[in-house]
Amino acid sequence: MARCRRGTEMIRVELQSVAGCPHVDAARALLRECLLELQLDAAVSEKVGEYPSPTILVNGADVMGAPASQAAACRLDVPTRQRLLAALRRAA
């Protein structure tokens, strides 16, 4: 997982997806926007594999809560701006 620093605090940020997920580009863009808005400088770790997709983890926690299934599939509960900002604020 990549880390970002705000003060002395280290935040782990990870974007997980399955290959070909149609929502991963939007999730990646949203993540960049939220990091900019909060002035957090982070390199986001990305993993492509057998995950509910897209999933954004902040300090190991799914910003949308645990998905109903851990199977590789497109999620219906894609990360929202509000949930992502809240998770990043809590971690910072």
Tens digits of pLDDT across the chain (92 residues): 444 555 556 789 999 999 999 999 999 999 999 999 999 987 789 999 998 999 999 999 999 987 767 778 888 777 899 999 999 999 98
pLDDT given for residue 63 in this prediction: 94
**In whole angstroms, how far apart are CA 50 and each of 6, 23, 33, 53?**
31, 15, 26, 9
Domains observed in the chain: 2-91 (3.40.30.10)
**In whole angstroms, how far apart are CA 47 and each of 18, 24, 81?**
8, 11, 21
pTM for this predicted structure:
0.84
pLDDT given for residue 79 in this prediction: 86
What span, in angstroms and rounded, lies between the C-alpha atoms of 33 and 70?
27
